[in-house]
Each structure stands twice: as structure tokens, then as C-alpha cells.
Structure 1
Amino acid sequence: MKHYSYDEWLSYVKDEVIGTIREEIESHLYTCDQCLEHYLQAVSEHESSLPVLSNENSFTDLVMAEVSKQKEFTESPTAVKQPVKTKKSFYQQASFHYLIAAAATLLLTFSGVFQSLATYASAVEAPQHSKEKKHTVTEGVIDKTFAWMDSLEKKEANKK
């Protein structure tokens, strides 16, 4: 990555850089923090020679008005400004999408898809009742321990 010197940034700020080099410098400025620092230093040094805005609020309003004009008008090949067509085709409108969603919902409802989904969901939610109760490992260990203790008690009782 090529870094630009402070003097190159100063000539950029003074608008002494031409076309393609200017574009290269600007694209580099977006990616390099070191060059951004040089650029900011050059701007602060050259700040006294930059034009002063008499009324900053009116300047902002003028810029925003120009931006809105650019949105409304586009440049034609004959250099005559024409309004941009803002009418969307029928399939790009929200009402078309709502209509498709409603139709799909009705189709799925009347075809029974939702009913089968509800049946499946209730089957999944219902506990599985098996004929045989399955014991956990802990229950098995406890049962064996009690059986062992019972056998020890019987042996003690037989000895007496």
C-alpha cells in the first residue's frame, strides 16, 4: 500500500492535483488511517485560506435543495433534464404482495395444510405414553441399593 506524504496531501487540499491521481488519493484516504492524519493536518494548516461561509445554515439548505433536485431529475442523452418516472410496476407494489399472501393463505387453509400442521403439532406436544415405564439410571441405582439393603436385613434377621 502506497502512503502519500504530507506535501502531497497539502497539494490535494490546495486543489493542485489532477484527475486520476486525485481519484487514487481519495480512494486511498478511505482505507488508510495514517494518511487520514496527514490529510487532517494539511486541512488544518490550510484552513485559513479556505473560503469562509457567510451563513452556514443557508449553505446547508442550498445543498439539500440541490440533492432533492438531483433525485427528481436525471440527465438525458440530449442534456435536457427530464423528470424521473417514479411509478412502479404492479408486481413491485405492496398491495400486490399482500394480495399474493392472502391468496396463498386461503389456498393453504382450504387445502387442509394448516389442519394437518395443527394435528402434527399436537402430536409432538403430547407426551409419549408407552406401555412400559422406562426407568432412569438413578432410579435403577436406587432400586438396586434398596434391594441390597433388604437382603442384608433378611440375613441379619435369619442369624438371630
Structure 2
Amino acid sequence: MKHYTYDEWLQYVNDEINENSRQELEDHLYSCDQCLNHYLMVMEANESSLPILSDMSEFTDLVMAEVLKQKIVVPDTVRNLNTMLMVPSVPDTTNDAKTKMKKKPFYQHAAFHYLLAAAATILLTFTGAFQSLATYANALESPQPQVQKKKHSVTEGVINKTFAWMDSLEKKEAVKK
């Protein structure tokens, strides 16, 4: 990979190179960290010669005003381009909120979901589903000695099986003698 010198980056910053070389240098910046460091050093060294913005907020306001002046002629083309480039599209501000609300199907409104949840709650209450759940929960919470058996740990099970196996081996040895 070819690396560019400090002087070449200085010429780039001072706009003293032709368009082909400029494009080549810009493409190279994307792939080379070493040259990017050289470029940043040149930018820091020549910071005083770069134009200074007197009022940054005024500059931002002017840029935003220019953006708002421009109108999108073919919104479908822009939307398709944004989809291909994976860039989020700018929201369409030409339609008001009432128009957007009318375009949504009824099942996408929050009120529909609240009504559906209320209907399900009423249905479960009147069918006794909540009562049976409460009874089941109480049955789980109250200790019942018949249901609770002492459970052995895995280690105890392995030890018991090992001793049983050793006892069977001893019995086989005793039978052989």
C-alpha cells in the first residue's frame, strides 16, 4: 500500500493538487490509518489558515433555512434511494396529524389495544379464571406434608449407587469363594 507524505497532505489541504490526485488521496484516507494521522497533523498545523466562523449558531440557522427552502420534486425516488442506502428518510411534514391518523387501520390505534385488554379482563373475571388462579396460587403457597418429599441431591444419588455397586461386587466375590 502506498503511503502519502506530510507534504502531499499539505498540498491537499491547501488545494494545490489536481482533481484526480485529490480523489485518490480522499479514497486512500478511508483505508489507511497512518495517512489519516498525517492528514490530521497537517490540519492541526494549518488550523489558523482555515476560515473561522464568526457565529456558529447563525451559520447553522442559515444552513437549516436553505434546507427548508429546497423541495423534494420526486419523493418516491428519494424514499427508494434512502432505502437502498439504508439512510433513514426525512419525515414528510406536508401532511398534518389528522390525515395521518385517518390512514392508520383501527387495530393500530392505542385505544383499540386498551379496549381489547379491558374486554379480556372482564371476560376472565366473569368466567372465574382469576378465582381459579388465586386458588391454585394459595395451594402452592400452603405447605402440605404429603406433597413435599425429601429430595436427595445428585451427589447423594451418585454415592448411593456407587455403594450399591460395590456391595454387589462383594457379594459376587463371596459367591465365587
Q: Which bracket does the TM-score occupy, shorter chain normalised?
A: 0.3 to 0.5
Query: What TM-score comes out, normalization by structure 1 length?
Result: 0.47
